[in-house]
Amino acid sequence: MNSWRFLKATFVSMASCGLLIPQLELFAAGPNQAVKQRKTAQEPAIIDIAMAAGGIVTGKVMDLQNKELQGVVVSVRQSDREVATAVTDKTGVFAVENLRGGSYHVVAANGHGWFRFWAPNTAPPAAHRKVLIVSGAVIIRAQNVVDRNVPSSGVFGNVDVITLGVLGAAFTGLSFAIYNYTEIDALKEANDRLPATP
């Protein structure tokens, strides 16, 4: 009887662990092709920007209500390395100098964008003249935008600390409940085996 309880508790624990650990992907077309398809689906749009003479890039930071944001630090990054910073003025405008042509990730407040900066007189005709960053995007739990600069963090992927804490507490509570259930059941069996008093 004890082995049956142990087996039942083991299966419940394994099922609980299966809910906590991310599901493995099943690759119908092979793992390399599935990873390539996933990466291309997550690639952000890159916007072409024509730089002014001296490698100057100007732009504006606004919120969702089209209000200019003053005093926001703007970070220009290339290959996970910050190459320049600027602060917006009272009209939300910023300027960065001495940049070279290439792909950049521009971050301001909680808005960001991917841009390809073109040297003067080399940009395609459809290139924009200024960078626009819209800050204040609403992010709902479990719907975070995937960012190329944030590597997956271990077994649990990019799950935040609060979610891990809640799942850990739930798993701990379930473990205690299973243990107590088996102990109570064992005590009931032991009580049933006691001789009846006269």
* The predicted structure's pLDDT at residue 197: 72
* The predicted structure's pLDDT at residue 10: 76
* The predicted structure's pLDDT at residue 198: 64
pLDDT-based confidence at 196, cuts 50/70/90? confident
Residue type, 187: L
CATH 2.60.40.10 for the 45-138 domain, yes or no: yes
* The predicted structure's pLDDT at residue 156: 56
> Mean pLDDT of all residues in the chain?
76
> Could you tell me the CA-to-CA distances from 49 to 14, 46, 78, 86, 101 in Å, in that order?
53, 10, 15, 17, 10
Q: Which tens digits make up the pLDDT trace of 134-187?
A: 887 554 444 444 444 444 445 555 566 777 777 778 878 877 777 777 778 777
> Whole-angstrom Cα distance, residue 198 to residue 196?
6
Residues 102-121 have a mean pLDDT of 90
* Closest to 148 (Cα-Cα) out of 35, 43, 37, 76: 43
* The predicted structure's pLDDT at residue 127: 92
Domain boundaries, the chain: 45-138
* The predicted structure's pLDDT at residue 44: 66
Q: Which tens digits make up the pLDDT trace of 3-40?
A: 677 777 777 777 776 666 655 544 445 555 545 555 44
> Whole-angstrom Cα distance, residue 16 to residue 21?
9
